[in-house]
C-alpha cells in the first residue's frame, strides 16, 4: 500500500513503561521503535497515543486490596484486568521511548486520565461510550484510512483497531510493528476479533512511499 493524503498512521503507546525495564513491559516492546519511525516517514498524517494515568487509577492492582496484577475483576463498565502501576502522569514511565521520533505528530491523544475508568482504545474509553475526540479530528481532516502500530497488539492496538473499523474507517494493522502481552491466549483472541471487525493486516515491507 502507498499512503495518501487520506491516510493516518496512529502509533499506539510506545512508552517507557511498556518497553523492557518498564513497569508493564511488553516482551520485545522496544523493537517497534525503528519500525514506527520508518513508517512515520511515509505517512502524511501521524497521531500518537499515550497512556496517562493518575496515581491510584482504578485499573491498578494496588488500588484494590487483596488483588494482584493480571487478575480480572468486575467494575462499573464491565471486566477489568488489573495492572501494575504504570504510565503515571509526569513520570519517566509515562514518557515516550527516547528513540521514538515524535516531531511529526499532528496530534497526541492522552488516554486513561480519568481515575475511575481505563482506556485502551484511541477512540473510546473502556465504557465504549466516552470519546477521546480522535474520531472528530479524523473526520474534520477528511482522513478515511487508519493504519496502526505500537503496543500492545492484544490490548490497546486491538481495541483501537476494532473501534476504528466500527467508526467506518478502513483499518490496517502493521503486524511486525506491534508486540503483544499475550495473557492466556489474549493475542489469538484479539486477532480473531479484529478480523471479525474487518481489520486488515500488513507488514511494514508492504508500505511504500509515494
Residues labelled as active-site residues: 13, 111, 156
Question: For residue 177, which of 3, 4, 11, 1 has the smallest C-alpha distance?
Answer: 11
Residue 196 CB partners (closer than 8 Å, separation 6+):
none
Cell numbers for 35, please give them: 519500525
Task: Specify the residue for cell string 487478575.
Answer: 71
Residue 15 three-state SS: strand
Query: Is residue 44 a contact partner of residue 103, using CB atoms and an 8 Å limit?
Result: no
| 27 HSE (CA, 13 A, CB side) | 6
- Torsion on CA atoms 118, 193, 197, 130, rounded to nearest 10: -10
Q: How many other CB atoms are there within 10 angstroms of residue 136's CB atom?
A: 10
Question: Which stretch of DSSP H or E encloses residue 28?
Answer: none
Q: How many other CB atoms are there within 10 angstroms of residue 157's CB atom?
A: 33
How far is CA 24 from each of CA 85, 113, 180, 181, rounded to the nearest angstrom?
8, 17, 12, 9
Amino acid at each position: 500500500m502507498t499512503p495518501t493524503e487520506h491516510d493516518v498512521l496512529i502509533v499506539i503507546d510506545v512508552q517507557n513503561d511498556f518497553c523492557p525495564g518498564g513497569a508493564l513491559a511488553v516482551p520485545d516492546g522496544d523493537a517497534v521503535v525503528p519500525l514506527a519511525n520508518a513508517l512515520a516517514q511515509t505517512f502524511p498524517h501521524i497521531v500518537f497515543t499515550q497512556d496517562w494515568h493518575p496515581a491510584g487509577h482504578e485499573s491498578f492492582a494496588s488500588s484494590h486490596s487483596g488483588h494482584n496484577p493480571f487478575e480480572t475483576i468486575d467494575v462499573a463498565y464491565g471486566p477489568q484486568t488489573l495492572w501494575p502501576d504504570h504510565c503515571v502522569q509526569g513520570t519517566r514511565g509515562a514518557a515516550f521511548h527516547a528513540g521514538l521520533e515524535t516531531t511529526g505528530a499532528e496530534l497526541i491523544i492522552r488516554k486513561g486520565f480519568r481515575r475511575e475508568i481505563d482506556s485502551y482504545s484511541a477512540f473510546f474509553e473502556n465504557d465504549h461510550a466516552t470519546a477521546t475526540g480522535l474520531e472528530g479530528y479524523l473526520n474534520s481532516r477528511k482522513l478515511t484510512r487508519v493504519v496502526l502500530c505500537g503496543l500492545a497488539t492484544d490490548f490497546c492496538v486491538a481495541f483501537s483497531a476494532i473501534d476504528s473499523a466500527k467508526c467506518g474507517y478502513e483499518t490496517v494493522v502493521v503486524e511486525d510493528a506491534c508486540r503483544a502481552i499475550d495473557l492466556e491466549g489474549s493475542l489469538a483472541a484479539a486477532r480473531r476479533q479484529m478480523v471479525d471487525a474487518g481489520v486488515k493486516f500488513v507488514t511494514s515491507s508492504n508500505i511504500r512511499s509515494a
